[in-house]
C-alpha cells in the first residue's frame, strides 16, 4: 500500500483531453471480467485509444461516440472490485468521479456474478446518482436459470437499468438512450443511494458531525466519506490527522468503540451490511430455476485445475504460445529445424516471410533507394551517412520491436478473455509459491523469454507492489529472444560438438532462472520489505469464446501506446551511438578510429578478468546495449567479415574465454528498451539503476568466476 504515500497529496491531474469537442463526459465502470473492454470497443470503435492514468502506470482507455446528435467522450475506469482505496486503480476511479464530475457513469454488471456486481454498483450509487446500469451476459445467466426482473430492480435503486450483450451488440440502443436521459438530467437519482447499515448508523452520523465541524472533504458526499473513514481509508484519515488532530482523535475513539462493542473491524461490518442489502435485493428481484450443471466446464476445470495435468497442460499452452510468437516474429525455431534437416531453401523462405524479415527488408530497400538517389544527384557527406546508417536503422530497430510486442499482447489478451489465464495462474501457484511468488508471475516470466519489455509491462497483473517491483527489477536476468540469437551464433561459432553446444545453451538458461529465483527471495525482502509470501486470490471466470475483434483492437492499441512512448528514446540513442561510431578525432566514417572505439579501447583492460584483450568486444557490448542483437552486428562490422559466425570465430577466443564472454553478454545489462520500460513502470530512477547494477555485477562476477575456476583447474 505504499503508493498512497506518494499520491495522497498530489491531485490526480486531468487526463489528456481529446482535441475534439464533446457534449458529455461519461465514465465506464465495472469489476474485472464483466466485459468492459468489449463494451468500450463496441461503443467507441476506432476512436478508442489506450493511455495511462497520470502519475502511475494504470491503463486508461478513452474514446468518442455520437448518439442522437450528442457527442460523448468516454473514459474507461480500471476494472476494480470496490471503490475503497486499497489499490491505486480504485483510488483513481473514485477521484475521477469526484473531480471530473462526469455527466453520467455507465456501470456494467456481470449477470453471471450478479451479487458481487450489485455490491460494486451500490458503492458507486453511494457516491453519485448519475448512473445508468447495463447488465451484461444476461443471455448466459438466463440459460443457467437466473431471471432478473429489471423493472423491479430499477424501482429499488432509482436508476435506469438495461440488459445488454456487449459481445452480440444487443440492447445498446436502449442503453445509449438512457445514457442521454441521465446525462441531460431526466433520469437518475437526485441524491446518493443510502444503504441501511443498521447498528452502526449512529456511528456514521457521529463521523459526519465531526467532519462537518472541520469543513473537511466538502467535494465528496459527507456520508460517503464517513463510511470510507470507518472502513479505514488511509487517504482520508491521513488528511484529518494532518489538519485536525482533535478530530482525528475523536474518529479514533469512534472506531475503537465499534471494535469493542462488536468485536469486529468496522470495515467488516460495513461490507457485511452492504452484502446483506444485496442479498435482500437479489431475493426480491430475481428468480432462479435449477438447471443441470454444465458438464463441459466441469470437465475442463477438472483437467486444468488438477495438480498433475494442470501444470503440464498450462506449460504446453504457454510454450506453444511463445514458440508461435517466435516463429511469426523471426522464423525461429522453425527455420532452425528445417536447416538442420537440410532444407536450406525452406528455412530461408520462412525467415523472409517472418515479420522481422519483412521489416528489415523494407528498411534495407529504403536505404538502398536513398543511396541510389544520392549517387544520381551526386550527394555525399556525413549527413547522407546519418540518414542511411543512423536514422533508417534507428527507425527500423524501433519497428522490429512492434511485431513481438503485438503478438505477445495478443496472446495474453486471448488467454485473459477466454478465462484460461486464471486457471494457468492456479496451476503454477503450487510451484511458484515454494519460491515466494504467486502463480500470476508465470505470465510475465513467460513473456520474458520472448522479450523483457512486454514482460515488465505484464507485471501489472501482480497483486502487491513488493512482488511487482521485485519481479520488474530482476526481469532482465531472463534470457530473451534477442539474446537467444546471440547465444546460438556464439555457440555455433565457438564450440564444436552437439553435446557441448547443448550443454552450453542449457547451462545459460538454468543459470538465468536460478539467479532470478534466488535473487527474488533476497530482493523482495531486503529491498522492498515483503514480510510474508504473497497469497493468490483470483476469480475463476466462466470460459468464453474470445472476441477476436476486441482482442485485436486492445492488443494493437497497447502496442502502439508503448511504441510511441519508448520509440522516441530508442531512436534518439540509436542516433547518438551512430554518431559515436562515425566520428573520431582523426577521421570520419571509420569505426576503428571513432570515438566509440576510443572508449572501447580505454575500457578493454576490464575484460582481462576473462582473459580478453580485443577492443571489439567492449565496443560490441556498448552498442549491444541499444538492442542486444546489435552486439553481433557490431562484431561483423568491426571485423570486416560478412557472415556473423566467421566474424565471431575471427575473435579467436579459447573455449573458456568464449564461455565466460557468453555469460557476460547474457547478463551484463538490460537493453535500452527494457531500461526505459523499467523506468516507466517503476517511476523510480533508483530501482532502474538497481536493475542495471544487479545485471552488471552478476555479468562480471559470473564470467570472471567461471574464467578463474577454469584457469585453476587447467582449462585454457
For residue 637, how many other CB atoms are within 10 A of its CB? 17
Residues 513 to 532 in contact with other proteins, rule: CB under 8 A: 532
- Select from 157-165, 397-405, 491-499, 537-545 the region that touches other proteins (CB under 8 A): 537-545
Which residue from 4, 58, 237, 267 is in contact with other proteins, where contact means CB under 8 A?
A: 267
- Please, which residue, 439 or 670, has the CB nearer to other proteins? 439
Give the separation between CA 614 and CA 607, rounded to whole angstroms: 9
The answer to whether residue 119 forms part of the interface with other proteins (CB under 8 A) is yes
Residue range at the interface with other proteins (CB under 8 A); choices 344-352, 389-397, 428-436, 520-528: 428-436
Give, in degrees to the nearest 5, the angle at Cα 54 between 49 and 56.
Answer: 105
Contacts with other proteins in 247-266 (CB under 8 A)?
265
Is the Cβ–Cβ distance between 617 and 590 less than 8 Å?
no
Q: Is 100 in the site for other proteins (CB under 8 A)?
A: no
Is residue 113 a contact point for other proteins (CB under 8 A)?
yes
State the nearest-atom distance from the C-beta of 207 to other proteins, in Å. Answer: 19
Q: Can you tell me whether residue 663 is helix, strand or coil?
A: helix
Q: What is the H or E stretch that residue 580 is in? A: helix 548-582
Q: Which of 36, 60, 73, 116 binds other proteins (CB under 8 A)?
A: 116
Task: Return the residue of 79, 232, 333, 389 that touches other proteins, per CB under 8 A.
Answer: 232
Spatial distance between the Cα atoms of 69 and 48, rounded to a whole number of angstroms: 19
Q: Determine if 433 is a binding residue for other proteins (CB under 8 A).
A: yes
Cell numbers describing residue 611: 582473459
| Closest CB to other proteins among residues 17, 294 | 294
| 115 binds other proteins, rule: CB under 8 A | yes
Give the DSSP per-residue string, 632-652.
Answer: HHHHHHHHT-SSHHHHHHTT-
Residue 271 engages other proteins in binding (rule: CB under 8 A): yes
Choose among 678, 323, 330: nearest CA to 477.
Answer: 678
Q: How far apart are CA 343 and CA 593, in angstroms?
A: 42
Residue 200 lies near other proteins (rule: CB under 8 A): no
Q: Strand, coil or helix: what is 488?
A: helix
- Shortest separation between residue 282's beta carbon and other proteins, angstroms: 9
Letters for 70-99 (x = contact with other proteins by CB under 8 A, - = none) are: -----------xx-x-x-------------
32 or 55, CB closer to other proteins? 32
Determine, following the binding rule CB under 8 A, whether residue 537 of this chain makes contact with other proteins: yes
Give the span between the Cα atoms of 110 and 33, in whole angstroms.
8
Residue 716 CB partners (closer than 8 Å, separation 6+) = 654, 655, 656
x/- mask, other proteins, residues 602-641, rule CB under 8 A, reads ----------------------------------------
User: Contact at 8 Å (CB) between 432 and 442?
Assistant: yes
CA distances from 323 to 26, 418, 513, 598 (A): 42, 20, 18, 40
CB 408 to other proteins: min, Å: 24
Cell numbers 578478468: residue: 609
Nearer to other proteins, 119 or 220 (CB): 119
Q: Which of 275, 509, 556, 595 binds other proteins (CB under 8 A)?
A: 275
Q: Does 139 bind other proteins (CB under 8 A)?
A: no
| Closest to 614 measured CA to CA, from 648, 651, 644 | 651
Stretch that binds other proteins, among 68-76, 108-116, 208-216, 578-586 (CB under 8 A): 108-116
**Does the protein bind other proteins through residue 539 (CB under 8 A)?**
yes
In 3-state terms, what secondary structure has residue 64?
strand
Site membership for other proteins, residue 136 (CB under 8 A): no
* Residues between 439 and 458 with contacts to other proteins, criterion CB under 8 A: 439
C-alpha–C-alpha distance, residues 564 and 231, integer Å: 41
Which residue from 98, 100, 114, 92 is spatially nearest to 31, judged by alpha carbons?
Answer: 114
Strands of the 24-30 sheet, one edge to the other: 49-52, 59-67, 70-76, 24-30, 104-110, 131-136, 161-163
- How many chain residues touch other proteins (CB under 8 A)? 40
Q: How far apart are CA 153 and CA 156, in angstroms?
A: 5
x-or-dash pattern for other proteins, window 140-179, by CB under 8 A? ------x---------------------------------
Kindly tell me which of 65 and 235 has the beta carbon lying closer to other proteins.
235
* Cβ proximity of 519 and 474 under 8 Å: yes
Facing residues of 496 across strands?
none
Kindly state the smallest distance separating residue 268's Cβ from other proteins, in Å.
7
Residue with cell 449512529: 202
Nearer to other proteins, 232 or 333 (CB): 232
Each residue 298-327 as x (binds other proteins by CB under 8 A) or -, in order, gives ---x---xxx--------------------
Rule CB under 8 A: which residues touch other proteins? 1, 81-82, 84, 86, 112-116, 119, 146, 232, 265, 267-268, 271-272, 275, 301, 305-307, 422, 425-426, 429-430, 433, 438-439, 532-540
Amino acid at each position: 500500500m505504499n503508493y498512497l504515500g506518494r499520491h495522497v497529496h498530489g491531485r490526480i491531474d486531468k487526463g489528456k483531453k481529446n482535441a475534439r469537442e464533446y457534449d458529455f463526459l461519461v465514465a465506464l465502470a465495472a469489476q474485472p471480467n464483466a466485459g468492459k473492454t468489449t463494451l468500450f470497443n463496441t461503443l467507441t470503435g476506432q476512436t478508442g485509444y489506450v493511455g495511462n492514468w497520470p502519475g502511475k502506470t494504470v491503463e486508461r482507455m478513452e474514446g468518442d461516440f455520437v448518439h442522437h446528435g450528442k457527442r460523448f467522450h468516454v473514459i474507461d475506469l480500471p476494472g476494480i472490485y470496490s471503490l475503497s482505496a486499497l489499490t491505486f486503480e480504485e483510488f483513481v476511479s473514485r477521484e475521477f468521479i469526484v473531480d471530473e464530475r462526469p455527466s453520467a457513469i455507465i456501470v456494467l454488471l456481470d449477470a453471471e456474478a450478479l451479487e458481487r456486481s450489485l455490491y460494486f454498483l451500490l458503492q458507486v450509487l453511494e457516491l453519485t446518482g448519475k448512473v445508468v446500469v447495463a447488465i451484461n451476459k444476461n443471455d448466459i445467466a438466463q440459460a443457467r436459470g437466473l431471471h432478473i426482473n429489471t423493472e423491479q430492480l430499477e424501482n429499488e435503486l432509482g436508476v435506469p437499468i438495461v440488459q445488454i450483450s456487449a459481445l452480440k451488440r444487443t440492447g445498446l440502443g436502449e442503453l445509449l438512450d438512457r445514457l442521454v436521459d441521465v446525462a441531460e438530467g431526466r433520469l437518475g437519482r437526485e441524491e446518493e443511494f443510502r444503504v441501511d447499515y443498521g447498528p452502526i448508523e449512529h456511528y456514521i452520523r457521529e463521523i459526519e458531525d465531526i467532519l462537518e465541524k472541520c469543513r473537511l472533504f466538502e467535494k465528496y458526499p459527507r456520508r460517503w466519506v464517513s463510511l470510507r473513514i470507518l472502513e479505514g481509508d488511509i487517504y482520508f484519515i491521513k488528511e484529518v490527522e494532518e489538519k485536525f488532530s482533535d478530530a482525528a482523535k475523536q474518529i479514533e475513539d469512534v472506531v475503537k468503540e465499534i471494535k469493542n462493542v462488536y468485536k469486529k473491524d468496522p470495515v467488516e461490518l460495513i461490507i457485511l451490511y452492504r452484502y446483506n442489502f444485496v442479498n435482500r435485493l437479489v431475493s426480491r428481484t430475481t428468480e432462479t430455476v435449477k438447471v443441470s450443471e454444465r458438464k463441459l466446464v466441469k470437465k475442463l476445470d477438472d483437467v486444468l485445475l488438477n495438480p498433475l495435468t494442470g501444470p503440464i497442460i498450462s506449460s504446453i499452452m504457454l510454450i506453444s504460445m511463445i514458440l508461435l510468437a517466435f516463429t511469426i516474429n523471426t522464423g525461429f525455431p522453425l527455420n532452425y529445424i528445417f536447416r538442420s534437416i537440410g532444407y536450406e531453401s525452406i528455412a530461408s523462405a520462412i525467415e523472409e516471410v517472418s515479420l522481422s524479415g519483412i521489416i528489415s527488408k523494407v528498411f534495407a530497400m529504403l536505404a538502398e533507394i536513398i543511396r541510389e538517389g544520392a549517387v544520381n544527384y551526386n550527394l555525399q557527406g556525413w549527413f547522407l551517412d546519418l540518414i542511411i546508417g543512423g536514422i533508417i536503422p534507428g527507425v527500423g530497430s524501433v519497428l522490429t520491436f512492434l511485431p513481438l510486442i503485438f503478438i505477445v499482447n495478443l496472446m495474453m489478451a486471448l488467454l485473459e478473455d477466454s478465462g484460461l489465464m486464471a486457471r494457468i495462474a492456479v496451476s503454477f501457484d503450487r510451484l511458484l509459491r515454494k519460491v515466494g511468488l504467486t502463480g500470476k508471475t508465470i505470465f510475465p516470466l513467460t513473456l520474458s523469454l520472448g522479450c523483457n519489455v512486454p514482460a515488465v509491462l505484464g507485471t501489472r497483473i501482480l497483486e502487491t507492489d513488493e512482488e511487482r517491483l521485485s519481479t520488474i527489477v530482476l526481469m532482465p536476468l531472463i534470457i530473451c529472444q534477442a539474446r537467444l540469437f546471440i547465444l546460438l551464433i556464439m555457440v555455433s561459432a565457438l564450440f564444436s560438438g552437439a553435446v557441448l553446444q547443448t550443454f552450453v545453451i542449457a547451462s545459460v538458461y538454468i543459470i538465468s532462472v536460478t539467479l532470478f529465483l534466488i535473487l527474488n527471495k533476497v530482493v523482495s525482502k531486503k529491498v522492498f520489505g515483503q514480510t510474508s509470501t504473497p497469497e493468490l486470490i483470483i476469480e475463476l471466470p466462466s470460459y468464453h469464446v474470445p472476441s477476436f475483434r476486441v482482442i485485436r483492437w486492445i492488443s494493437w492499441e497497447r502496442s502502439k501506446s508503448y511504441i510511441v512512448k519508448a520509440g522516441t528514446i530508442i531512436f534518439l540513442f540509436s542516433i547518438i551511438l551512430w554518431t559515436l561510431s562515425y566520428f573520431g578525432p582523426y577521421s570520419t566514417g571509420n569505426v576503428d578510429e571513432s570515438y566509440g572505439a576510443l572508449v572501447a579501447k580505454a575500457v578493454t583492460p576490464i575484460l582481462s578478468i576473462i582473459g580478453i584483450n580485443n577492443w571489439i568486444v567492449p565496443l560490441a557490448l556498448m552498442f549491444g546495449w541499444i538492442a542486444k542483437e546489435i552486439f553481433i552486428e557490431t562484431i561483423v562490422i568491426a571485423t570486416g567479415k560478412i557472415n556473423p559466425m566467421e566474424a565471431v570465430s575471427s575473435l579467436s577466443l579459447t573455449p573458456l574465454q568464449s564461455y565466460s564472454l557468453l555469460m557476460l553478454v547474457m547478463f551484463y545489462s538490460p537493453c535500452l528498451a527494457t531500461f526505459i520500460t523499467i523506468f516507466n513502470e517503476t517511476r523510480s530512477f533508483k530501482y532502474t539503476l538497481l536493475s542495471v547494477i544487479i545485471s552488471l555485477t552478476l555479468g562480471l562476477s559470473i564470467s570472471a568466476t567461471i574464467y578463474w575456476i577454469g584457469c585453476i583447474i587447467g582449462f585454457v
